[in-house]
Amino acid sequence: MEIRFPFGIDRRGLTASSGPDAHIRDLIEQVLFTMPGERVNRPEFGAGLDRLLFAPNSPELAAATEATVRSSLQRWLADRIQVEAVVVESVESALTVTVRYVMRRTGERATATFSREGGP
Measured CA to CA, the distance from residue 18 to residue 34 in angstroms comes to 20
Residues 6 or more apart in contact with residue 107 via CB below 8 angstroms:
none
Predicted TM-score (pTM) of this structure: 0.81
Q: Are 15 and 7 in contact (CB under 8 A)?
A: yes
Domain definitions of the chain by residue range: 2-117
The architecture of the domain spanning 2-117 is Roll (3.10)
**6 or 22, which is more confident?**
22
Indicate the pLDDT class of residue 11, thresholds 50, 70 and 90: confident
Measured CA to CA, the distance from residue 64 to residue 66 in angstroms comes to 5
Question: Residue 31, exposed/middle/buried by CB under 10 A (0-12, 13-18, 19+)?
Answer: buried
For residue 8, the SS3 value is coil
pLDDT at 119 over 60: no
pLDDT digit string, tens, across residues 24-34: 999 999 999 89
pLDDT at 79 over 60: yes
pLDDT for 20 equals: 79
